[in-house]
């Protein structure tokens, strides 16, 4: 199976891959040479652009022009010479791409102001002046002839191995009064073409005329006209990349001779290395496959399956240890031990959490202060003394309802919303008898929620708080109760027309978010704290109680609990 299913297909795939890779590599080499040529040409063009930009300094800077105007007025030729020469030295003397920079007046070309780069001439005495003298005797006539057609443009001028950049200097009426000529260091500007991958030599053309030849073979190859992109061609033993670009109105061609043998030698060597490595890798791959399958893959699969069992809730799941290595044998035994420990810890913690929740809920529900009962009895006593009306009977019934809820003899933790509202109605009935018409109650309750179960005594303490802080202080007021659904949550809002002071807000924040309990806290405040804590214990931190002010500065207490459709009275 290894020979037919793995080794033989692997060898076939390796040979096909080698053939395809070799072909692709050859094409990639051609693309790389073209890309390398483009990048080299880009560097050459940047250098030419920098010189072109530098030539504009003499035109845009007014130093030479101002000196020329003064010369026309007072004939002070010495000042014209000194200022022009100083400007040329500052701008052009230290640029390695410029051999010599000259300026002369078009109406007096015999007087040339110049500077030259001595480092490019290897500090050979008056080599710089020799370039000026050569230009004056051999090239100036052509430059002056071009000046008439040049206008404000820039142009390259080639003459017997010398390459110049020429530009007119114009006055404020755009009339030429002088010309700046920069002799270019061709080898420096076009040296980037020699860095093309595999480049043996290169040649540069200006409008079809060779201006630079660096060890180029005898068989000149002229780039085709209007070839804007670099093209790679092969000519038997020789290979070239060539193309054409523009400089202003002139066309500049380039040809790079590529030593293909040096490039292909790398491809051949790569083929030999790949074949040799493939031959030695085949037995190694077989051995590694066998080793990892037996020593690593099989035990790892057992561990993964066991981990999936644990993730699915099967705590205590055990692995049948059959590892063939000491390391995996240790891992499997350790996993089995951890699995059993996890099962034990989970069961213990779960039981402890249930017990703690039961204890917390029972403790919170038992915190009922008898103060309210005393007040109620006083009201009933007062009613009994005043008259024998049915109000006494009604208040006694309301009190009975309240007592049943607070005593909770059946230890119920959840009741239906309708039962919870009966406790609220009993309390509000007592309060309405106390305040009479000065106390108003408004209800907006979604009746479809009445059979939903909620924790016992979570609404009455909040309503009591609303009465105490919204009605007691002013001896009159209103309480609005609104119950609605929001997706899987029940929203219970209790509103009163009392306003929250800064002190009230601080106290509310302490009651709802503080960790410590004040033993002297008022029983209503304790009710707020207990309701919030009970809800969070049962439902989690995304539910609970908030107390805020609405847009009318009325106080709104909002209880958020989750809907429960199944009976949880016995949970």
Residue 213 confidence (pLDDT) above 80: no
Q: What is the CATH number of the domain that holds 543?
A: 3.30.565.10
- Tokens for 126, please give them: 């008056």
* C-alpha–C-alpha distance, residues 182 and 155, integer Å: 11
Same domain for 334 and 381, yes or no, is no
Residue 569 confidence (pLDDT) above 50: no
**Which of 227-241, 301-315, 405-419 has the highest average model confidence (pLDDT)?**
301-315
Q: SS3 helix, strand, coil % of the chain, rounded to 5?
A: 55, 20, 25
Same domain for 407 and 338, yes or no, is no
Contacts of 435 (CB under 8 A, 6+ apart): 471, 475, 476
Q: Which of 162, 189, 216 is the last residue of a domain?
A: 189
Q: Which of 324, 353, 382 is the last residue of a domain?
A: 353
- DSSP H helices, 61-98, are 63-74, 77-92
Same domain for 325 and 425, yes or no, is no
* C-alpha–C-alpha distance, residues 546 and 493, integer Å: 10
114 forms beta bridges with 102
Domain of 440, in residue numbers:
366-562
What was the pLDDT predicted at 3? 61
Same domain for 290 and 333, yes or no, is yes
Instruction: Compare 290 and 47 and report the one with higher pLDDT.
Output: 47
CB atoms within 10 A of CB 40: 24
With both helix axes pointing from N to C terminus, report the angle between 298-311 and 326-365 in degrees, rounded to the nearest 10.
10
What was the pLDDT predicted at 570? 42
Q: What is the CATH number of the domain that holds 97?
A: 3.30.450
Averaged pLDDT for residues 194-213: 83
With both helix axes pointing from N to C terminus, report the angle between 460-467 and 417-435 in degrees, rounded to the nearest 10.
20
Cβ atoms 183, 162 nearer than 8 A: yes
Of residues 483, 486, 489, the one with CA closest to residue 463: 483
Residue 148 confidence (pLDDT) above 90: no
Could you tell me if residue 236 is inside a domain? no
| pLDDT tens by residue, 291-307 | 767 777 777 887 788 88
What are the backbone angles phi and psi of residue 68, rounded to the nearest 5°?
Answer: -65, -45
**DSSP codes, 160-209:** TTEEEEEEEEE-TTS-EEEEEEEEE-HHHHTGGGGGSTTEEEEEEEETTE
**Which of 118-127, 223-232, 498-507 has the highest average model confidence (pLDDT)?**
498-507
Cβ atoms 156, 190 nearer than 8 A: no
What was the pLDDT predicted at 447? 93
- Tokens for 277, please give them: 């490595």
**Which of 27-31, 190-194, 317-321, 462-466 has the highest average model confidence (pLDDT)?**
462-466
What was the pLDDT predicted at 96? 83
Total-model pTM:
0.46
What was the pLDDT predicted at 26? 73
Contacts of 380 (CB under 8 A, 6+ apart): 392, 395, 396, 399
Could you tell me if residue 237 is inside a domain? no
In Å, what is the CA distance from 488 to each residue of 139, 459, 509? 94, 19, 27
Could you tell me if residue 137 is inside a domain? yes
Same domain for 282 and 181, yes or no, is no
Averaged pLDDT for residues 459-471: 90
What was the pLDDT predicted at 411? 67
* C-alpha–C-alpha distance, residues 152 and 50, integer Å: 17
What was the pLDDT predicted at 124? 47
| pLDDT tens by residue, 472-501 | 878 889 999 999 999 899 999 999 998 999
Same domain for 540 and 407, yes or no, is yes
**Which of 119-123, 538-542, 563-567 has the highest average model confidence (pLDDT)?**
538-542
Same domain for 463 and 523, yes or no, is yes
- Tokens for 128, please give them: 């710089």
Residue 20 confidence (pLDDT) above 70: yes
Q: Which of 322, 353, 384 is the last residue of a domain?
A: 353
Residue 348 confidence (pLDDT) above 60: yes
What is the share, in percent, of the chain residues with pLDDT greater than 90? 20
Q: What pLDDT band is residue 171 in, cutting at 50, 70 and 90?
A: confident
- Tokens for 350, please give them: 């779960």
Q: What pLDDT band is residue 571 in, cutting at 50, 70 and 90?
A: very low
Angle at 543 between CA 541 and CA 546, to 5 degrees: 105
* C-alpha–C-alpha distance, residues 239 and 199, integer Å: 10
Cβ atoms 306, 317 nearer than 8 A: yes
Same domain for 383 and 529, yes or no, is yes
Q: What is the CA radius of gyration of the chain?
A: 49
Number of domains within the chain: 3
Residue 142 confidence (pLDDT) above 50: yes
Same domain for 295 and 396, yes or no, is no
Instruction: Compare 358 and 42 and report the one with higher pLDDT.
Output: 42
214 forms beta bridges with 202
Q: Average pLDDT over the chain, rounded to whole?
A: 80
Cβ atoms 494, 556 nearer than 8 A: yes
Same domain for 349 and 370, yes or no, is no
Could you tell me if residue 548 is inside a domain? yes
* C-alpha–C-alpha distance, residues 539 and 543, integer Å: 6
DSSP classification of residue 224 = P
Cβ atoms 499, 555 nearer than 8 A: yes
What was the pLDDT predicted at 126? 53
Could you tell me if residue 147 is inside a domain? yes
Could you tell me if residue 538 is inside a domain? yes
* C-alpha–C-alpha distance, residues 369 and 522, integer Å: 9
Residue 196 confidence (pLDDT) above 90: no
- Tokens for 37, please give them: 């040529």
Angle at 105 between CA 104 and CA 109, to 5 degrees: 70
Same domain for 465 and 520, yes or no, is yes
Residue 520 confidence (pLDDT) above 50: yes
258 forms beta bridges with 199, 239
Instruction: Compare 128 and 143 and report the one with higher pLDDT.
Output: 143
What was the pLDDT predicted at 368? 47
CA 234 to chain CA centroid, Å, is 47
What is the share, in percent, of the chain residues with pLDDT greater than 70? 76
No. of H helices and E strands in the chain? 16, 17
Could you tell me if residue 8 is inside a domain? no
What are the backbone angles phi and psi of residue 232, rounded to the nearest 5°?
Answer: -105, 125
Residue 289 confidence (pLDDT) above 90: no
CA 522 to chain CA centroid, Å, is 52
DSSP classification of residue 222 = P
What was the pLDDT predicted at 101? 92
Of residues 254, 250, 117, 247, the one with CA closest to residue 190: 254
Averaged pLDDT for residues 367-388: 59
Same domain for 406 and 347, yes or no, is no
* C-alpha–C-alpha distance, residues 140 and 155, integer Å: 14
With both helix axes pointing from N to C terminus, report the angle between 417-435 and 390-407 in degrees, rounded to the nearest 10.
140
252 forms beta bridges with 206, 245
- Tokens for 201, please give them: 């030599």
| pLDDT tens by residue, 537-555 | 888 889 999 999 999 899 9
Could you tell me if residue 224 is inside a domain? no
Instruction: Compare 264 and 222 and report the one with higher pLDDT.
Output: 264
Contacts of 160 (CB under 8 A, 6+ apart): 138
What was the pLDDT predicted at 190? 87
* C-alpha–C-alpha distance, residues 461 and 150, integer Å: 98
Contacts of 453 (CB under 8 A, 6+ apart): 414, 415, 416, 417, 564, 567, 568, 569
Cβ atoms 201, 215 nearer than 8 A: yes
């Amino acid at each position: 199976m290894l020979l037919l299913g793995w080794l033989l297909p692997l060898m076939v795939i390796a040979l096909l891959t080698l053939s395809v890779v070799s072909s692709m590599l050859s094409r990639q080499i051609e693309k790389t040479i073209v890309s390398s040529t483009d990048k080299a040409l880009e560097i050459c063009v940047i250098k030419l652009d920098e010189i072109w930009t530098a030539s504009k300094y003499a035109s845009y800077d007014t130093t030479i022009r101002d000196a020329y105007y003064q010369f026309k007025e007072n004939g002070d030729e010495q000042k014209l010479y000194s200022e022009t020469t100083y400007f040329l030295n500052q701008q052009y003397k230290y640029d390695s791409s410029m051999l010599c920079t000259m300026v002369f007046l078009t109406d007096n070309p015999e007087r040339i102001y110049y500077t030259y780069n001595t480092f490019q001439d290897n500090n050979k005495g008056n080599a710089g002046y020799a370039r000026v003298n050569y230009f004056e005797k051999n090239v100036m006539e052509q430059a002056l002839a071009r000046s008439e057609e040049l206008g404000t443009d820039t142009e390259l001028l080639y003459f017997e191995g010398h390459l110049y950049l020429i530009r007119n200097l114009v006055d404020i009426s755009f009339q030429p009064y002088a010309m700046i000529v920069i002799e270019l260091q061709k080898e420096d500007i076009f040296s980037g073409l020699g860095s093309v991958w595999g480049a043996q030599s290169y040649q540069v053309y200006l409008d079809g005329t060779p201006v630079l030849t660096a060890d180029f073979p005898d068989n000149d190859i002229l780039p085709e006209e209007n070839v804007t992109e670099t093209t790679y061609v092969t000519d038997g033993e020789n290979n070239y990349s060539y193309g054409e670009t523009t400089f202003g109105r002139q066309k500049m061609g380039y040809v790079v001779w590529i030593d293909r043998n040096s490039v292909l030698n790398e491809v051949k060597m790569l083929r030999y290395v790949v074949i040799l490595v493939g031959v030695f890798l085949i037995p190694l791959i077989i051995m590694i496959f066998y080793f990892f399958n037996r020593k690593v893959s099989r035990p790892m699969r057992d561990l993964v399956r066991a981990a999936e069992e644990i993730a699915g809730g099967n705590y205590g799941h055990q692995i049948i240890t059959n590892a063939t290595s000491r390391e995996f044998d240790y891992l499997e035994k350790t996993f089995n031990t951890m699995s059993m420990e996890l099962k034990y810890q989970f069961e213990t913690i779960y039981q402890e959490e249930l017990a703690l929740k039961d204890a917390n809920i029972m403790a919170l529900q038992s915190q009922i202060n008898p103060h309210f009962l005393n007040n109620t009895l006083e009201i009933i006593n007062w009613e009994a003394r005043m008259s024998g009306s049915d109000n006494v009977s009604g208040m006694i019934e309301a009190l009975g309802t309240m007592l049943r809820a607070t005593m909770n003899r059946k230890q119920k933790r959840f009741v239906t919303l309708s039962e919870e509202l009966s406790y609220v109605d009993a309390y509000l009935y007592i309060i309405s008898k106390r305040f009479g018409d000065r106390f108003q109650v408004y209800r907006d309750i979604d009746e479809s929620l009445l059979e939903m179960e909620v924790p016992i005594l979570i609404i009455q303490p909040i309503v009591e708080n609303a009465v105490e802080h919204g009605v007691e202080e002013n001896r009159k007021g209103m309480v609005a109760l609104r119950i609605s659904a929001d997706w899987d949550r029940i929203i219970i809002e209790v509103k009163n027309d009392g306003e929250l002071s800064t002190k009230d807000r601080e106290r509310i924040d302490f009651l709802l978010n503080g960790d410590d309990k004040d033993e002297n806290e008022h029983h209503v405040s304790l009710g707020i704290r207990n309701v919030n804590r009970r809800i969070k214990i049962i439902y989690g931190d995304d539910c609970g109680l908030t107390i805020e002010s609405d847009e009318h500065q009325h106080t709104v207490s909002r209880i958020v609990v989750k809907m429960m459709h199944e009976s949880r009275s016995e949970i």
